[in-house]
Amino acid sequence: VCYPPNSIILKMFDGFFCQEGIEGVRASNRVAHSLASKLPPQSLMEVSKSEVLDAYQFPVLQRIVNRQKVLNGILDSAEGYKRRLRQLLQRQRERCRKREEREALRTRVAVLGEQLAREEGLMESELSGLTRKRECVDGTEERLRAKQLELGKKKCNHENSCVLHNNRREDLARLKRCQLYRQKTMVYSLSQAFEIRQVDDDLAICNIILPSFEQLEAAEQTGVVLGYLAQLVHHLGRILIIPLQYPVKPQGSKSTIYDNISDETLIENIREFPLYSRGSDRTLFQYAVYLLNKDVVQVKLHLTKS
């Protein structure tokens, strides 16, 4: 068996013993009764008798054992200190880790606070912008509401105007029907008063034959016939509400007609022309008959269109 340097080997109680903690040494199976029971099993080994000296006595060995116990106690205390130091180091590492986490959390909280302040600033600016927009929208809404109320009033007024207009239109239609009926009645009465009928190849009004244009001056009752015709045209214009181009002044056989349209007349400053041949200028009489024919054509065209 090989022993490390400075190894202590004891011979007692029919056995050989060495100090505790030597590696590679096989323990002996021969163990003493008292001391061997107190020593750890690793302290026993097999050695050669020639290598062991009988220089140790029991008190010395007892002292060695006691010192070994003291050393073991010191080792146990050292192990306890070592465990406490490891625990202390573990707690210190835990405190450092928690302190690092706390510092990281503080840094994170500071960064989040700055970010929150920036977000609050942006939110306040956006809120102010939204408030201004809301004010604009509220103003626009108020204006639109006012316009809506105004349009509602205008609509009510328009509806009332439509109702009034419809009523007036119905009244006007009724009045127009009444007017048309009255016009027809008056025209019929006028046709009975100034009866025009066919006599051979000529026309007669109030039983007086209407002569041709060439026979007007030679006819004896020219003024009477033209007076009847002028009065008929005049009353038809008033009944049918026809503004005659050449107004007629009915005076029986002394009727006249006016020309207020032409810029130049046959005789200066003459606007009234006679519808009778006796005692009047021939040219003025012919021109008066021409104007009366114009009025007759106008009344006929109006009746045709109506």
pLDDT of 111: 94
| Contacts for 48-57: CB closer than 8 Å, 24+ residues apart | 48/1, 49/11, 51/9, 52/9, 52/11, 52/16, 54/11, 56/10, 56/11, 56/12
Rounded to whole angstroms, the Cα distance separating 16 from 184 reads: 169
- β-sheet bridge partners, residue 15: 12
Rounded to whole angstroms, the Cα distance separating 43 from 70 reads: 16
Spatial neighbors of 302 by CB under 8 A, at least 6 apart, are 240, 242
The secondary structure of 146-179 as a DSSP string is HHHHHHHHHHHHHHHHHHHHHHHHHHHHHHHHHH
Rounded to whole angstroms, the Cα distance separating 25 from 37 reads: 19
Rounded to whole angstroms, the Cα distance separating 66 from 72 reads: 10
Rounded to whole angstroms, the Cα distance separating 203 from 225 reads: 11
pLDDT of 17: 62
DSSP conformation class of 54? -
- 253 neighbors 227 (Cβ within 8 angstroms): yes
Positive/negative CA dihedral, 112, 118, 121, 124: negative
pLDDT of 27: 44
pLDDT of 32: 36
pLDDT of 107: 94
pLDDT tens-digit profile, the chain (306 residues):
455 566 666 665 556 666 555 454 444 433 333 444 554 555 555 555 565 555 556 677 778 778 888 888 898 999 999 999 999 999 999 999 999 999 999 999 999 999 999 999 999 999 999 999 999 999 999 999 999 999 999 999 999 989 999 999 999 999 889 988 898 898 888 888 887 777 777 777 787 777 776 666 555 577 888 888 888 898 888 888 888 888 998 888 888 898 888 765 555 667 888 888 777 778 888 888 888 889 999 988 988 876
Give me 114's structure tokens: 């700055």
- β-sheet bridge partners, residue 9: 18
pLDDT of 26: 47
pLDDT of 53: 55
Give me 36's structure tokens: 């061997």
